[in-house]
Amino acid sequence: MPWRFRTKREMPEGVWIKCKSCNATLFQKDFEANLAVCSQCGWHGPIGARRRIALLTDDGSFDERWSELHPKDWLGFNDKERYPDKLKKSVARTGSLEAAVAGTAKIDGHPITLCVLDFAFMGGSMGSVVGEKVTRTIEAATDAGVPAIVVSQSGGARMHEGAVSLMQMAKTSAAIERHGRKGLLFISILTDPTTGGVTASFAALGDVIIAEPGALIGFAGPRVIQETIRATLPEGFQRSEFLLDHGFIDRIVERKDMKSELARIIGIASPSRKEA
C-alpha cells in the first residue's frame, strides 16, 4: 500500500509551532506551558501583556488603571488602511484599547506600578496613549514613593500619530527624571523586540535595565544600519548578549526568573517598603 501523506486539513491546527530561532518543531501546549520559551534553544517567544503581568506580579494584586484611554486619529492617517480601522483590529486581537496595559501591583509583597507593552497591538508602537500610560505609571509611582517598572516590546514611535508620537519620548523621559530626583527606582525590562523611539526614550532610562535572552534591542534595525554605513555588522549585533558585553544593559534574566529577580532588586533598593 502506497504511503498516504496527510493533507493540511488532517493536521490539527495550533498543535505544533516552529521555533523562530532554532527551527525545532515544538508542541504548542508544551511551549505555552514553558512560558513561550523554546525547550531546545531557550528562544523567548512573544507573550501578551496580560500574561506577562500575571507572570511578574503577586496573584490578584494587579489593579489595572487608565484602561479607558484610547487613541485619537490626529492626522486622519490613511496608508493602505485607515488608522481607526487598524486600531479596531488590534482591539479585537488583544482585548485592550491600546498597546500598553498599566496599573498598580505587588511583587513579592512590594508595591509597585507597572506598564507592559504588547507587540500584538500595532507592533507595540508608542502613540499618545502608550506615552501617556507610561508617564502615568511613572508619576503614580513617584506620588506613592514606590518603584516603577516598564516592560517594552515595541517597534518604536507610531507613525500614524506623527509628531504627537515623538513628543511622548520627551514626556516619558521627563517623568522618569522627576521620579529619579526623588530617589525612587525605575526598572526597564527589554523584550524582543525593543526598537526605535521606545529604545531612544524610557526603555534606555532604567536605573536597572534588564533584558530577556536573545532580544533584539536597538534604534534602527540591522538592515538599515548595514545599508547606511555599508559595513558588515558583528555577529549577534543588537541582541541582549551583545549589548550586555558592551555595557548597554545591566543584566539578562530568563523569563521564568524575572519576577524573583525584580523582587530581589526592589528588596535591595527599598527593603522597608515590603507589605504583607
**Which positions touch Zn ion (CB under 5 A)?**
19, 21-22, 24, 38, 40-41, 43
Q: Kindly calculate the radius of gyration of the chain based on its CA atoms and give it in whole angstroms.
A: 20
HSE, CB side, 13 Å, CA atoms: give it for residue 154.
33
Task: Give me the residue label for grid cell 505609571.
Answer: 137
For Zn ion, which is the closer residue by CB, 98 or 212?
Answer: 212
**Cβ 30 to Zn ion, closest distance in Å?**
12
In whole angstroms, what separates CA 66 from the centre of its chain? Answer: 18
**Residue 253, SS3?**
coil
Q: Which residues pair with 103 in a beta bridge?
A: 64, 114
For Zn ion, which is the closer residue by CB, 22 or 75?
Answer: 22
**Cβ 192 to Zn ion, closest distance in Å?**
13
Give the alpha-carbon dihedral of 38, 61, 93, 74, to 10 degrees: -120
Q: Which residues pair with 150 in a beta bridge?
A: 115, 188
**Cβ 47 to Zn ion, closest distance in Å?**
16
Q: What is the grid cell recorded at 183? A: 530617589
Burial, 57: exposed, middle or buried (Cβ in 10 Å; 0-12, 13-18, 19+)?
A: buried
**Cβ 23 to Zn ion, closest distance in Å?**
7
For Zn ion, which is the closer residue by CB, 38 or 209?
Answer: 38
**Cβ 20 to Zn ion, closest distance in Å?**
8
**Cβ 241 to Zn ion, closest distance in Å?**
15
For Zn ion, which is the closer residue by CB, 43 or 119?
Answer: 43
For Zn ion, which is the closer residue by CB, 19 or 49?
Answer: 19
**Cβ 26 to Zn ion, closest distance in Å?**
7
What string of DSSP letters covers 156-219?
A: -B-GGGHHHHHHHHHHHHHHHHHHHHTT--EEEEEEEEE-HHHHTTGGG--SEEEE-TT-BB-S
For Zn ion, which is the closer residue by CB, 41 or 244?
Answer: 41
For Zn ion, which is the closer residue by CB, 39 or 61?
Answer: 39
Nearest to residue 192, comparing CAs of 58, 37, 34, 32?
A: 37
